[in-house]
C-alpha cells in the first residue's frame, strides 16, 4: 500500500509518498507545494488543492495521513494551517482517499521511538528510515514523510483493516 503523508500549510505544504515493501520503507516522491504570501488566501488555497489533486491522481495512494491540528500559543498561525488542512481533507474526499489522522506524539513515536523527539531527531530518522542521501528540505517535507511513515505502520493494524 502507498501512503501519502501531508504537513499542511498555506505557504508550504509538505507531501511524501511512502510504501512498505517487505520490511523496507520506500519513498516514491516527496516535496512541497508552495504559495506566495502576496497572493489572496483563496488563490493560495486553490493552488494547494489543485496541486494536491494532481499528485493524488498521478500517484494513486491508498491512504492519506495527516497530523491532527495542534497549536500551543499562536492562534493566528493555527487559522491558516486549519484552512490548508481543510483543503487537504477536501482533496482526499474528492478522490475517495481514506484518511488516517495522527497526533504529533504518534508521528514522532513511529519515526523515532520517542514521542517528544526534537525536529532534528525526526529529520535524522526520516533520512535513515527512507535511505535518503541527504535530509529532505524544507522541514515541512521531512514532517510529511514522517506522517507517511507513521501511516504505513498503522495500515497493518486490525483497526485500520476493519475500517477499510
Q: Answer yes or no: 143 catalytic.
A: no
Task: Mark whether 140 is an active-site residue.
Answer: yes
Backbone angles phi, psi at 10, to 5 degrees: -85, -30
138 cis-preceded (ω within 30 degrees of 0):
yes
User: Which residue among 7, 21, 62, 139 is the active-site one?
Assistant: 7
**Which position among 42, 43, 58, 140 bears the catalytic label?**
140
User: What is the SS3 assignment for 108-119?
Assistant: HHHHHCCCCCCH
Catalytic residue among 58, 62, 67, 139: 67
Rg (CA), the chain: 15
The three grid cell numbers given for residue 31, joined into one nine-digit string: 516535496
The residue among 162, 157, 155, 163 whose CA lies nearest residue 65 is: 155
Would you please indicate which residues are annotated as catalytic (active-site) residues? 7, 67, 140
Amino acid at each position: 500500500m502507498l501512503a501519502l503523508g501531508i504537513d499542511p500549510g498555506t505557504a508550504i505544504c509538505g507531501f511524501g509518498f511512502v510504501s512498505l515493501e517487505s520490511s523496507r520503507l520506500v519513498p516514491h516522491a516527496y516535496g512541497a507545494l508552495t504559495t506566495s504570501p502576496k497572493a489572496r488566501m483563496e488563490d493560495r488555497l486553490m493552488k494547494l488543492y489543485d496541486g494536491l489533486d494532481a499528485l493524488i491522481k498521478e500517484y494513486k495512494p491508498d491512504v492519506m495521513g495527516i497530523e491532527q491540528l495542534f497549536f500551543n500559543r499562536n492562534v493566528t498561525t493555527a487559522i491558516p494551517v486549519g484552512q490548508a488542512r481543510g483543503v487537504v481533507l477536501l482533496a482526499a474526499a474528492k478522490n475517495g482517499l481514506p484518511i488516517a489522522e495522527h497526533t504529533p506524539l504518534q508521528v514522532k513515536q513511529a519515526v523515532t521511538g520517542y514521542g517528544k523527539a526534537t525536529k532534528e531527531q525526526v529529520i535524522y530518522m526520516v533520512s535513515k528510515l527512507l535511505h535518503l542521501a541527504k535530509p529532505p528540505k524544507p522541514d515541512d517535507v521531512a514532517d510529511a514523510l514522517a506522517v507517511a511513515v507513521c501511516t504505513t505502520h498503522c495500515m497493518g493494524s486490525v483497526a485500520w483493516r476493519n475500517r477499510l
